[in-house]
A and B are shown apart, each in its own frame.
Chain A
Amino acid sequence: MADRIALQVLRYRPEQEAEPTVEQYEVPCRKDWVVLDGLNYVKDRLDGSLSYRWSCRMGICGSCGMMVNGEPKLTCATFLADYDPGPVRVEPLSNFPVVRDLVIEMSDFMRKLPAVKPWIVRKEEKPLKEGGYLQTPEQMDEYKQFSMCINCMLCYAACPVYGLDPTFLGPAAIALAQRYNLDSRDQGARERLEILSQHDGIWGCTFVGECTKVCPKDVDPAGAIQRYKLKAALEWLRPFFLWGSER
């Protein structure tokens, strides 16, 4: 393993250029260094003007998502040594506008997230003295996988549907809606279905499946969306066959 590796970083400085340019930096390639360590090295030692987001560096805050050699990755969980001898190309997440360097504009996602009501909706809250809403391990198992989402938006960067049509609600938002639909304490499935069964909702998805492959938390948004499609189709058919509603 070489002791240094080249980082090719996309730079975009709106005050001086109309399009991004690539700058190359040599950083140490240590066994335990991730791409984010390389970027921090650049910022600390080589070029303090480099802008990027990061926070926890342990794969839970979801802020350091970038394209590494064309793949959406959490840079805190992507080891430089795996790209030896390099170079490693680091770009801002695809399908989002770029504010500066590796910083993307995410307010589109931030608007979509609350639209699917990602919280427990109750028609009627039960009185406090009756205690909490209990759940069996099996009931929790139903939705747990979808609750692992850290909103890192790697799935949006991998989704060509979102890239071509930014009005698409997108993988993470739909998976999160499904997380609450599958929760035994929730009663908001019908409210969510109204939003999700619109054209820009689940039916926008063509099941490319890349969102699931790039997810660092094994959430499987593609699976969530397909299951939702089945549910929406059954819900649409229900009046014709008169079977009971689940919730």
Chain B
Amino acid sequence: MPHRVPHDDRPAYTEFPPRWYRPRMSTYWWLKRRAYLTFILRELSSVCVAWFVVFLLMLVAAVSRGEESYRQFLSWSGSPVVVVLNLVSLFFVVFHAVTWFNLAPQAMPVRLRGKRIPGSWVAASNYAAWALASALVAWLLLGG
């Protein structure tokens, strides 16, 4: 009987071998709760983060090979498949960032003059740093 597995290190005082029922976790456990699904999506979003790194490296490689190669890269990245892929990736990267920033206060209890500052401040400082970095990149690309 598959479910009546006697446990190896059962307590010595047990008079009869216990026949424990060992429930197995479903392969689709991550669909059972919203929080589990959010977690799995956040983990999967790392693939999209990796894709953006690869995309950037491809851009750098194309630029280093000269103008012709850069133009080819531009026309390739303008193709519908790549645009859709990048849009989906952008969504997941933003999702990754937002869920992480919201979790940050839990991992970082920050104390100021002996008092723990509210978690929302920690999250807010992360968002502020994000906005600042984005503004810097925008300035470099558009105005700089």
Binding site for B on A (CB under 8 A): 12, 14-15, 18-20, 70, 94-95, 97-99, 105, 107, 138, 160, 163-164, 206-210, 212-213, 220, 222-223, 226-227, 229-230
A107 to B56, CA, bound (A): 51
B78 at the interface (CB under 8 A from A): no
A19-B3 in contact given A160-B29, A207-B103, A223-B107 (Cβ < 8 Å)? yes
Contacts of A223 in B (CB 8 A): 106-107, 109
A97 to B21, CA, bound (A): 6
Contact with A along B11-33 (1 / 0, CB 8 A): 10000001111110100011011
Tell me, rounded to whole Å, the shortest Cβ–Cβ distance linking A9 to chain B. Answer: 15
A3 to B43, CA, bound (A): 46
B7 at the interface (CB under 8 A from A): yes
A97-B107 in contact given A18-B4, A208-B36 (Cβ < 8 Å)? no
Cβ-neighbour of A19 out of B9, B21, B32, B43 (below 8 A) = B21
Interface residue total, chain B, C-beta cutoff 8 A: 27
Cβ-neighbour of A164 out of B18, B19, B25, B33 (below 8 A) = B25
Contacts of B103 in A (CB 8 A): 207, 209, 226
- 11 A-B residue contacts at CB 8 Å? A14-B19, A20-B21, A99-B18, A105-B20, A209-B39, A213-B35, A222-B106, A223-B106, A223-B107, A223-B109, A229-B107
A214 to B31, CA, bound (A): 18
B140 at the interface (CB under 8 A from A): no
A19 to B22, CA, bound (A): 9
Cβ-neighbour of A206 out of B7, B20, B43 (below 8 A) = B43
B114 at the interface (CB under 8 A from A): yes
4 closest Cβ pairs, A-B complex: A226-B107, A97-B20, A14-B19, A223-B106
| Closest partner residue, chain A, to B21 (CB atom) | A98
Contacts of A160 in B (CB 8 A): 25, 29-30, 36, 39
Determine whether the beta carbon of A98 is less than 8 Å from that of B23.
yes
Contact with A along B87-124 (1 / 0, CB 8 A): 00000000000000001001111000010000000000
B1 at the interface (CB under 8 A from A): yes
A sample of 9 more A-B contacts (CB under 8 A), given A207-B103, A209-B106, A227-B109, is: A95-B25, A97-B21, A97-B22, A105-B18, A163-B25, A164-B29, A210-B36, A212-B106, A230-B108
A135 to B19, CA, bound (A): 49
A164 to B40, CA, bound (A): 14
Determine whether the beta carbon of B18 is less than 8 Å from that of A14.
yes
Contacts of A206 in B (CB 8 A): 39, 43
Cβ-neighbour of A107 out of B11, B43, B109, B114 (below 8 A) = B11
Determine whether the beta carbon of B106 is less than 8 Å from that of A220.
yes
| Closest partner residue, chain A, to B20 (CB atom) | A97
Determine whether the beta carbon of B29 is less than 8 Å from that of A163.
yes
Cβ-neighbour of A210 out of B11, B22, B33 (below 8 A) = B33
Contacts of A210 in B (CB 8 A): 33, 35-36
